[in-house]
Structure 1
Amino acid sequence: MLTRRSLRRTKTAHQQLADEIAQLREEAATLAPGRRRDMLLRRARQDETAMRIEAWLLSPGLRAPT
């Protein structure tokens, strides 16, 4: 019988996204302009958007639709 491993998260989703954004931008800064660099910057922007959406969803002012 297989047992399920329990994972303990040491960072919140917000922290993980922030770390990934910093890492992606740092890697993109070392590359010359091109496809790989553009893809890294695009992913960083997507992560920033995800952070904004998460903050909006968790904001106290958000109300359920009636």
Structure 2
Amino acid sequence: MQKRRRFKQQFTLQDRLASWSKQVMATANALPLGPERDAMLKKARQADVAVHLDDWVKSPGLQPPK
């Protein structure tokens, strides 16, 4: 049985998603209008929404039901 190679991430998932989203946005803005650019922008927006949802879920104002 093979052992899995494990390693600790240097940055949190939120940080990595935000960074990746910014990179993809910059790349997409450099592309001409078309389906490839639209797909890249959609992926970047999805990553951005994921970061915001994670922030919202972890917010102190959100309390579990009693």
TM-score by length of 1: 0.89
Q: Share of identical aligned residues, percent? A: 35
Return the offset for 1:35: 0.1
- Across the aligned residues of Structure 1 and Structure 2, the Cα RMSD in angstroms comes to 1.1
Q: Does 1:13 align with 2:16?
A: no
1:18, 1:56 → 2: CA distance? Answer: 15
Q: What are structure 2's unaligned runs of at least 5 residues?
A: none
State which drifts further: 29-38 or 4-13.
Answer: 4-13
Q: What are structure 1's unaligned runs of at least 5 residues?
A: none
Return the offset for 1:65: 2.5
Number of aligned residue pairs: give it: 66
List 4+ stretches of structure 1 deviating above 6 A.
none
Letter in 1 for 2:52: R
TM-score by length of 2: 0.89
